[in-house]
């Protein structure tokens, strides 16, 4: 039976390049995003990498959490090997001035959809050898950034939730690995959406250090190949490090 790697937020940026990187490894893919046209373009690019791969397109808006349940149900006919929750977006504004409609959507996508999809995948696959769940957080999931407090809080959740899951799976002797990728500044659509701009920002000449989405996809593969739980870009040096969980974890005493 064919095995698949699921990637949400695959229409651009890190998700797009990660799909190409996993295709180069010979992985069949389920690519998920809101924009069908962009997913079709990605599928064409994947065919150039390996025309024999099976690529399933799922057009879904995961900021509606009902759609997260529906997506998972639709994928039950496939054998899933790796699930990458990459879909998410940011926001730059002070808490008192932030657009609460946008914030509600961000909370739904960055936290609720990720939690639902992770939980369902763990429920069905934690005992399956070779399975991985990789959740994309941020350097802002370990450091609070001014005027991005709410966004950072969503990513603190992603980091803590995923690290906690890794501890839990290890305690239970589960076969699945849970991992968290924490990028720093990466040249994607992220800045445009965060600042509500018309066009993407060009980082060259603006930021002294940043990564391309393709570089981050390479780090994603490094994390995938590793036994470590966290793949984190240092916010100062921009070096990528594979490390053990960062958040403290207390084992619950059972009676």
For residue range 68-122, list pLDDT tens digits in order: 999 999 999 999 999 999 999 999 999 999 999 999 999 999 999 999 999 999 9
Q: Show me where the domains of the chain are located.
A: 3-243
* Distant-in-sequence, close-in-space partners of 63: CB < 8 Å, separation ≥ 6: 105, 106, 108, 109, 113
pLDDT higher than 70, residue 190: no
Which residue, 122, 119, 116, 159, is CA-closest to 138?
Answer: 159
**N-term to C-term CA, the chain:** 42
Average pLDDT value over all residues in the chain: 93
| The pLDDT value given to residue 188 | 59
Q: Are 77 and 68 in contact (CB under 8 A)?
A: no
| The pLDDT value given to residue 18 | 98
Domain spanning 3-243, CATH architecture = 3-Layer(aba) Sandwich (3.40)
Half-sphere exposure of 171 (CA within 13 A, CB side): 11
CA distance 178 to 158: 12
Helix axes of 149-171 and 100-107: crossing angle, nearest 10 degrees: 10
Sign of the dihedral defined by the CA atoms of residues 23, 28, 33, 37, in that order: positive
Q: Whole-prediction pTM value? A: 0.92
Counting every residue, how long is the chain? 255
**Residue 33 phi/psi, 5° resolution?**
-170, 180
CA distance 21 to 11: 14
Give 21 or 205, the one with higher predicted confidence.
21
| The pLDDT value given to residue 196 | 58
* Distant-in-sequence, close-in-space partners of 70: CB < 8 Å, separation ≥ 6: 60
For residue range 196-228, list pLDDT tens digits in order: 555 654 556 556 677 899 999 999 999 999 999
For residue range 141-181, list pLDDT tens digits in order: 999 999 999 999 999 999 999 999 999 999 999 999 999 99
Residue environment code for 95-129, b if the CB has 16+ CB neighbours within 10 A, otherwise e: eeebeeebbebbbbbbbbbbbbbbebbbeebbeee
CA distance 184 to 251: 31
For residue range 109-151, list pLDDT tens digits in order: 999 999 999 999 999 999 999 999 999 999 999 999 999 999 9
């Amino acid at each position: 039976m064919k095995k698949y790697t699921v990637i949400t937020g695959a229409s651009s940026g890190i998700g797009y390049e990660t799909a190409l990187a996993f295709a180069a490894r010979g992985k069949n893919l389920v690519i998920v995003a809101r924009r069908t046209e962009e997913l079709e373009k990605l599928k064409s690019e994947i065919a150039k990498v390996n025309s024999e791969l099976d690529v399933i397109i799922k057009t879904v808006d995961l900021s509606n959490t009902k759609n997260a349940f529906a997506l998972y149900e639709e994928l039950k006919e496939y054998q899933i090997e790796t699930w990458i929750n990459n879909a998410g977006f940011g926001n730059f504004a002070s808490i008192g001035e932030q657009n609460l409609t946008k914030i509600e959507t961000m909370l739904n996508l960055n936290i609720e959809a990720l939690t639902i999809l992770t939980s369902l995948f763990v429920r069905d696959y934690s005992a399956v050898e070779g399975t991985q769940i990789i959740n994309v957080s941020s350097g802002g999931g370990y450091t609070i950034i001014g005027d991005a407090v709410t966004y950072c809080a969503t990513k603190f959740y992603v980091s803590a939730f995923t690290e906690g899951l890794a501890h839990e799976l290890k305690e239970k002797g589960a076969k699945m690995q849970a991992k968290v990728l924490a990028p720093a500044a990466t040249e994607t659509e992220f800045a445009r959406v965060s600042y509500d701009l018309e066009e993407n920002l060009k980082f060259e000449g603006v930021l002294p250090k940043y990564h391309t989405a393709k570089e981050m996809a390479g780090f994603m593969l490094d994390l995938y190949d590793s036994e470590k739980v966290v793949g984190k870009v240092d916010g100062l040096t921009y070096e990528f490090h594979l490390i053990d969980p960062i958040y403290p974890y207390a084992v619950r005493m059972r009676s």
